[in-house]
Every structure is written in C-alpha cells, then in structure tokens.
Amino acid sequence: MTHANHSGRMARLFRRSIAAAALLLAPGIAAAQDRVHFQYSWLPTGEYAPISAGIERGVFRRQNIELTYSTGRGSGDAVRRIAAGASPFGDGDISAVMDARMRENAPVRCIMMQHAMSPHSLFVLESSGITSIQQLAGRTLATTPGNSHFIYFPLVARMNGLDPSTVRWITVDSAAMAPMLITRRVDGAPLFATHLYYQNKQAERMGQRIRAIPFAEHGFRIYSYCWTATEETIRTNPELVRRFLAAVHESYLWAKDNVDEAARLHNRRHPDVAADDAAGSMRIMYEYMFPDAQALANFGQADRARLQETYRVVALSQNHPADADVSQFVDTRYAPPPR
C-alpha cells in the first residue's frame, strides 16, 4: 500500500469516526434507555396524570428511562408485588410499607414522599343519612386487598367512639368499589378524597350524590402515599433511583402548574379517563400534597416527627410494637433536595 493510499484510508476512517461521534451527540439521540417498570397501586385515575404527562413530554426519556407501568389493586397488593421483585419501583400508602416490613420484613422502602396530609376518606351516599364515623355500626363497607384505609379504620373508629367490630367488610376488586356504593350494594367505600370529583359525576347520573368523610377531619395528621423501591434496587442501582425520582419530581411540579394540559396528556394515554375528571382529581390531590408553602418546598422529603406519628397510628391500628425504628421504612437519600 502506497503512502498516499494509506493516508487516504486513514482520512476516511477519521471522518467516519467524527461522523459517528457527532451522531451520538446530536440532539434527540440519547444513550441506551433503561427500561423501567413502575407498579401503580391503583387504577390510572387522574392522580397519575403527572406520570402520563412526564412520559408524553419526554421527562423520563431525558433521564434515560423508558417507563412502562401496570395498574394495581391497592397499596398492599402493590407493596407485595414490589417485594416479590415484579417491579423495581412502585407507589402506595406508607402504612402498607410499614405493615409489610413489620409482619414479613418485606424489602421495600419509601424513597420519596407524596402526600403531606392524608387524603383517606370514606365515601357514602347522601341518601344513606350517614354523616359521621359513629353512624357506621352495623353497616357494610367495601375494601380491596391490603387497602390502607382498612389498616387505619380500627383506630379511626375507636377515636370516634365506634367499635370497629360492628362494621362488616367485604373484599372486592378496586374497579368495583365505587359502583357498588353508587348502586347501594354496600353502605360505604373507602377512597381517597381525590376520587370525589369524578365519582360524584357518576353518582349523579344515577340520581345519587356522594358525601366524603375525610379521615384528616377525624384526628389523622399523618403521611400517606409515597414512591417505593426494593432495597436491592436502592443498593445496586442508586443512580437509577436518583434519575427516576428526578423525573417523577419534575413531572408532578410541572403538572401542578399545568393541570389541564396534564389531564389532556393523560386522556391521550387513557381515553377512558375524561380529561375533566383527571383535572378534578389532580386539583384535589395537590391540596393534600402541598397544603402550605413549606410542604411544597420540602416536596419528597420525610419529616421524622411526622414519620414517627404515622408509625404510631399504624402500630396502634395493627398491634405492632410501639418502639420500632422508623428509619427502616424510608430511604430518601436520592430524592431531589428541598427547594
């Protein structure tokens, strides 16, 4: 090979290398995406619109995450699936995390807090005449497997002068709870206050109206939902945890200021959830996530005093030891810092 031919060949190889590097660095061409599955604890109602918006707007993609998700049947069900390794990440009520760890040493922790104030409520029909917890004696309520409301109910009942054993519970599928209430097959259904807007629209079509009895108005000042991960995920892939939480954090803050657009994007992914219903759920959700400026500034962080109070309530409800170390339930090291 002549010197000229060799030089020409090297020049071509150099140009190809430069072109390949430019392609990798070009806008829109990202590194290989981590395929991540997120286990919802519930149906894809409007509370999940920020996640849909984050996917549609490329927030997760910018964190090199290709996010998929599955719907759930309650917090207890979601925590069990996470503990079994079905998904690295999920969401659910912290009471389900606490209960699973105390009963089974489930390897699941809350990695970022969602609600600063509990949205737990009991839905009843106005036509039932029920206006308080005390009036539930002899009534039948629906629940789902591991439902956090069910975990809390014995304490809520006792705090309000009701013997919890006088209430009958039946376990049903998550999608059946509200319809069973509206059609009067049960007297009450424990649901988050965030569901009131769209469930009441359904009830009004049947000539009924729903009344919400919030647990927060009956002595509860505790944490509720959090995002969860397996201990193995936290230990072996902390950078993925950090990126996942950064995307979730950004998605929820953006949706707070763009409720209608987030609802529209959610409806695009879930046509069965009307944009108006999703927007109504989100507006209520943010009241419980950010009841004040401090909660907004500390979004995602866990306050130890409130965490201790939350465990006290769970322990009383489920007969767990009162002296458990609450640090075992959370690991928020990789959540975005306070603003």
Residue 23 lies in a domain: no
Task: Please determine, for residue 163, whether its predicted confidence score (pLDDT) is greater than 60.
Answer: yes
**Strand ranges of the sheet holding 189-192, from the earlier edge strand across to the other edge:** 189-192, 120-125, 210-214
Going by C-alpha positions, the residue among 38, 39, 104 that lies closest to residue 78 is 39
Q: Which of 218, 240, 259 is the last residue of a domain?
A: 218
CB atoms within 10 A of CB 16: 10
Residue 318 pLDDT grade (very low, low, confident, very high; cuts 50, 70, 90):
confident
Lowest mean pLDDT among 115-119, 124-128, 329-333: 115-119
Residue 26 lies in a domain: no
Give CA–CA dist 205/136, Å, rounded: 25
Residue 236 lies in a domain: yes
Residues 290 and 231 in one domain: yes
Residues 128 and 208 in one domain: yes
Q: What is the pLDDT of residues 219-231, one digit of tens each?
A: 778 999 999 999 9
Residues 257 and 317 in one domain: yes
Residue 21 pLDDT grade (very low, low, confident, very high; cuts 50, 70, 90):
very low
Residue 3 pLDDT grade (very low, low, confident, very high; cuts 50, 70, 90):
very low
**Beta bridge pairs of residue 93:** 225
Distance of CA 231 to the CA centre of its chain: 18
Going by C-alpha positions, the residue among 128, 76, 67 that lies closest to residue 104 is 76
Domain enclosing residue 178, as ranges: 120-218
What's the pLDDT score for residue 221? Answer: 82
Residues 152 and 226 in one domain: no
Residues 226 and 325 in one domain: yes
Give CA–CA dist 97/91, Å, rounded: 10
Residues 52 and 129 in one domain: no
Residue 19 lies in a domain: no
Within the chain, strands assigned E span 34-39, 65-70, 89-93, 108-113, 120-125, 140-143, 168-171, 189-192, 210-214, 225-230
Helix 238-257 to helix 259-269 angle, to the nearest 10 degrees?
Answer: 120
CATH number at residue 303: 3.40.190.10
Q: Which of 187, 202, 218 is the last residue of a domain?
A: 218
Residue 217 pLDDT grade (very low, low, confident, very high; cuts 50, 70, 90):
confident
What's the pLDDT score for residue 28? Answer: 44
Residue 5 lies in a domain: no
Residue 29 lies in a domain: no
Helix 304-318 to helix 94-104 angle, to the nearest 10 degrees?
Answer: 60
What's the pLDDT score for residue 31? Answer: 63
What's the pLDDT score for residue 269? Answer: 98
Residue 18 lies in a domain: no
Residue 25 pLDDT grade (very low, low, confident, very high; cuts 50, 70, 90):
very low
What share of the chain in percent tops pLDDT 90? 81
User: 3-class SS at 336?
Assistant: coil
Task: Please determine, for residue 241, whether its predicted confidence score (pLDDT) is greater than 50.
Answer: yes
Q: What is the pLDDT of residues 43-63, one digit of tens each?
A: 999 999 999 999 999 999 999
Task: Please determine, for residue 295, whether its predicted confidence score (pLDDT) is greater than 60.
Answer: yes
Q: What is the pLDDT of residues 199-215, one digit of tens each?
A: 999 999 999 999 999 99
Residue-wise DSSP of 288-323: HH-SSHHHHHTTT---HHHHHHHHHHHHHHHT--TT
CB atoms within 10 A of CB 23: 9
Cβ-based burial of 112 (10 A; exposed 0-12, middle 13-18, buried ≥19) = buried
- Please give the residue that has the higher pLDDT: either 146 or 178: 178
pTM given for the model: 0.82
Residues 145 and 273 in one domain: no
Residues 150 and 296 in one domain: no
Q: Which of 195, 218, 241 is the last residue of a domain?
A: 218
If one counts the domains in the chain, the total is 2
